[in-house]
Amino acid sequence: MTFATSNFLVPNGTLVVELIAFLIVLGFIGWKVLPPLNKVLGERQDLIRSELESAEQAKVEAAAADEERHRVLEAARHQAREIVAGANRTADQVTTAAQARAQAEYERIVQAAEAEVAVARAAAVDQITARVGEIVLATAERVVGREIQAADHRDLIAEAIAAVSAEGAAAPAGTGSPAGGGR
């Protein structure tokens, strides 16, 4: 029973050899492996630090760009409001001018119509007086039973025209015929 006589807590030769081998490997790692590893880790740390600084700088630039975008957008909105207000003013001016032109055209048309009505009325009065003169002449021929001479005829027509014209001027507008209300 060799197992019973050995105590694992007491250092023996194997433990010392293993400890020396471990220290040699540890020294070799510390001397040859750790410096390049530390160098790579330092470079990696510097790279991460520079990327973080770049990210922070990009964040600041993005915030500035966002602020600039908001400022430009607000300026564009303000300009758009000014354009719309100008367009509304122009539309109001065009509407007012068109209404003024339409009113002037309306007044011109009404005046022209009134002038045409006056001319038509005068022509109608002239036609009626001429016709009345003919009727009076025909009636007079029948009554008298003889033909009136041409000079007498013209005189009678002129008298009838004057009488009808006087009645037409005295009669109010729109009351029917000027010769006595259509009798």
- Residue 87, domain extent: 13-170
| Residue corresponding to tokens 């991460």 | 48
Please report which confidence band the pLDDT of residue 173 belongs to, taking 50, 70 and 90 as the band edges: low
In-domain check, residue 17: yes
**pLDDT over 80 at 106, yes or no:** yes
Domain count, the chain: 1
Mean pLDDT (the chain, rounded):
84
77-115 as b/e: b if 16+ CB within 10 A? eeeeeeeeeeeeeeeeeeeeeeeeeeeeeeeeeeeeeee
Task: Give the model's confidence band at 99: pLDDT under 50 very low, under 70 low, under 90 confident, else very high.
Answer: very high
Residue 177 belongs to a domain = no
What's the pLDDT at 181? Answer: 46
| C-alpha span between 109 and 30 (Å, rounded) | 112
pLDDT at 65 over 70: yes
Quick one: how far is CA 138 from the chain centroid? 74
Model pLDDT for residues 67-93, shown as the tens digit of each residue: 999 999 999 999 999 999 999 999 999
When computed from its CA atoms, the radius of gyration of the chain, rounded to whole angstroms, is: 62
Is 6 a member of any domain? no
Vertex 118 angle, CA 117 and 123, to 5°: 95
Q: According to the model, what pLDDT value does residue 54 have?
A: 95
Residue 137 pLDDT greater than 80, yes or no: no
54: in domain: yes
Largest CA distance in the chain: 189
Structural domain contains residue 179: no
* Alpha-carbon gap, residue 131 to 179, rounded angstroms: 11
pLDDT at residue number 146: 54
